[in-house]
Amino acid sequence: MIYAVGILTVACLAETLLLWRVARGLTALDRFEDRLAHFSGALTLLSETTEAGFRSLAIELARTGRPGAAGPSRGVTRRVVRASRLGQSPIEIAAQEQMSEGEVRLRLHLGDEFSRPRSAYLAKEA
Domain ranges of the chain: 1-71, 73-126
Residue 40 neighbours by CB distance under 10 Å: 10
Q: What is the pTM of this model?
A: 0.37
More confident residue, 63 or 115: 63
Average pLDDT over residues 2-28: 89
d(CA 47, CA 49): 5
CB 80 within 8 A of CB 104: yes
Which of 32-36, 51-55, 65-69 has the least mean pLDDT?
Answer: 65-69
